[in-house]
Amino acid sequence: MAADASRGGTGANVTRRRFAGAAGAAALVAAGVASIGATRAWASPEEAFQGTLGPREALRLLMQGNQRWARGRARHPNQSVSWRLHVAKKQAPFATVFSCIDSRVPPELVFDRGLSDMFVIRTGAQVLDAGVVLGSIEFGPYSYASARLMVVLGHQDCGAVIAAIEAIESGCPAPGHIQAVVDALRPAYDAAKPRRGDLVDNMTRAQTRLTVQRLKRDPLLRKLIETDGLMIVGGHYDLRSGLVEIIA
C-alpha cells in the first residue's frame, strides 16, 4: 500500500486541490465530456468528480450503482483500458467498503463501480481485529482525502454467521483459526438472541451495526469524522434482489 503523496499536505493544499478539481469537473460536465474521444482526461463526467465528492454524494453514487446492478442494467463504469492507464498514475477512491468474503457479494459488482472508485476490505462477516484489518480500514480515509465515505456491508444468509451460531450453541469449537471469527461474532449473537424473528438475519444486522459503532469510536477515524467530514454507514445486501438497504 503506497500512500498518495498528495495526502502529505492537508489544509490549504487539500482545499486548493478540491476546489480546483471541483471547478474542473464542473467545466467538463458543462462541456458535455461524454462525447469526447479516447484522449480525454476523464472517461465520463462522473469520473471527473473523483477527489471532490462529499460523503453523501459518494453514497448516492454507490446506491445508484446498486440500483443498476439489481435491475440488471450495470454500466461497469471506470473499467476501460484508457481508464486503467489513467489511474495507474494515481488513484482517488471516493469510498471504503468493508464487507464479507462471501463470493456472492463482491462490492465492485454490487455497487456497479470500477477502478479507483473504492478501497475494499473483506473478512468473514465483516469481523474486525485490532491490527491488520483495522489498520487497512483506517488506511484509506487517513491517506486519501478523496475517501470521505465508509460502508460496512453485511448480507443475507451469511455463512460465517450461520457457522458461528452453530459453534456457539453446540459448544463445539470451530476448526483452526475459524474459531477467532466465532469469538469476534459473539457480541452480535448476544445482541440478536433475545430478539424476535430470524436469528441469522438479526445477528447479521447486529454485526453490521456493532461494527459501525466500533469504527466510529476508533480514535483515528473519530478524528476524521469530527474534523474532515468522514461518514460511516452500515448496509445489508439481499442476495436475491441484489439490493442494498442502509441500516446504520
Would 47 be classed as within a structural domain? no
Asked if residue 158 is part of any domain, the answer here is yes
Number of structural domains found in the chain: 1
Structural domain for 71, as ranges: 54-246
Neighbours of 125 (CB within 10 A): 27
Number of neighbouring beta carbons within 10 Å of residue 176:
7
Among candidates 80, 66, 87, 112, which has minimal Cα distance to 241? 66
22: in domain? no
Q: Is residue 5 part of a domain?
A: no
Name the residue with cell 477512491.
93
In terms of Cβ atoms closer than 10 Å to its own Cβ (0-12, 13-18, 19+), residue 117 is buried
What is the residue-level pLDDT of the chain in tens, covering all 248 positions? 444 433 433 333 333 333 333 333 333 333 333 332 333 334 455 555 566 789 999 999 999 999 999 999 999 999 999 999 999 999 999 999 999 999 999 999 999 999 999 999 999 999 999 999 999 999 999 999 999 999 999 999 999 999 999 999 999 999 999 999 999 999 999 999 999 999 999 999 999 999 999 999 999 999 999 999 999 999 999 999 999 999 99
Is the pTM above the cut of 0.85?
no
CATH number at residue 89: 3.40.1050.10
Tell whether 213 is covered by a domain.
yes
Is 8 a domain residue?
A: no
pLDDT score, position 46: 58
Written as nine digits, the cell of 61 is: 453514487
Half-sphere exposure of 167 (CA within 13 A, CB side): 20
Report yes or no on 26 lying in a domain. Answer: no
Decide if 60 is inside a domain. yes
H/E stretch holding 120 reads strand 118-122
